[in-house]
A and B are shown apart, each in its own frame.
Chain A
Amino acid sequence: MIERDDHDLRKSFAALRREDAAGTPPFPATVATARAREAAAPGHRALRLAAVLVAVAAVVVVSTWRERNGVRLEIDLATVRWHAPTDFLLKLPGDELLRSVPQLGPRGLDRRTL
């Protein structure tokens, strides 16, 4: 994929690669260092696990305590209800008739009109 006129860049990168390769630690040493680092820090995994367990325990304790003491989060919807200034435009004349159920049956009928 490298074009012919990229020779200059190829040369520069090759020089960089040679320099990097000169300071490359051997593969077995790299793996050994990685293993040693991992072995030297076994406590960190345990510490992480302990932190998660403590957090979960704290959440459980707090929620249980709140439930026992009847502490509940109450939201007063009336205080958070917002009224738009143009709400009055939505009011139709006589809309109370639309929102109420008409009474049917003997109580609703006026015999005098029958």
Chain B
Amino acid sequence: MSPADLTAELEQLHAAALGWALSCCGWDRSAAEDVLQTCYLKLLDGRARFDGRSSLRTFVFGVIVRTAREVRRRAALRRWIPLASLLLGPEAVDGRPDPATALVGADETARLVRALGRLSARQRQVLHLVFYEDLTIAEAAVVAGVSLGTARTHYERGKAALRKLLGEERE
């Protein structure tokens, strides 16, 4: 795939990729944008190369998951070793409002975000990929790095747990 084609494909995936990055970062918009920027650089500079074994969408989502994990690990390291910030570079800063603040006006979505936050990480990932990103369970399994059976279990249990939590939130 030529760099121009890759850029065009990434542009088409951009909104979905940001949604997935938001989910991976617990709806922290600043962290999600940081992850997405790092991810785009990896893809455009060829540090993460698409070999066509899966769809580009699945591949990009996989890169986002790994990048989010790296960013979390770095943030944890920064908390423990102040000197590490010199070596790891500056933390992403932007002036955007926190997602919690942005969602105050939208009760239903705020409830959904809160309920998703109470699910296990795997359940949240699978539900997000299936319902938000319209991926199949098999594709979600590839992105999350689990077997199809495990993804199915997370999907079923996650749905039941999410419905229960949303019901509790409404009461």
Q: Which residues of A contact B (CB under 8 A)?
A: 1-2, 6, 8-10, 12-13, 15-17, 19-21, 23-28, 30-31, 33-35, 37-38, 41, 44, 47-48, 51
Contact = CB atoms under 8 A, between A and B. Distances in A.
28 contacts: A1-B130, A2-B131, A6-B131, A9-B127, A12-B112, A13-B128, A13-B132, A15-B112, A16-B109, A16-B112, A16-B113, A16-B132, A17-B19, A19-B103, A21-B19, A24-B14, A25-B33, A27-B14, A30-B37, A31-B37, A31-B40, A33-B33, A41-B89, A44-B88, A44-B89, A47-B86, A48-B87, A51-B87
A31 B44 contact: yes
| Chain A binding surface, main DSSP class | helix
A27 B136 CA distance: 25
Contacts of A25: 33
Contact of A27 (B10, B19, B92, B112): B10
B58 interface: no
Interface string B155-168: 00001001100100
Interface of B: 7, 10-11, 14-15, 18-19, 22, 29, 33, 36-38, 40-41, 44, 86-90, 92, 96, 102-103, 106, 108-109, 112-113, 127-128, 130-132, 136-137, 159, 162-163, 166
Given A24-B18, A31-B40, A2 B106 contact: no
A20 B19 contact: yes
Given A1-B136, A31-B44, A19 B106 contact: yes
The 3 closest A-B pairs by CB, nearest first: A34-B37, A13-B131, A27-B14
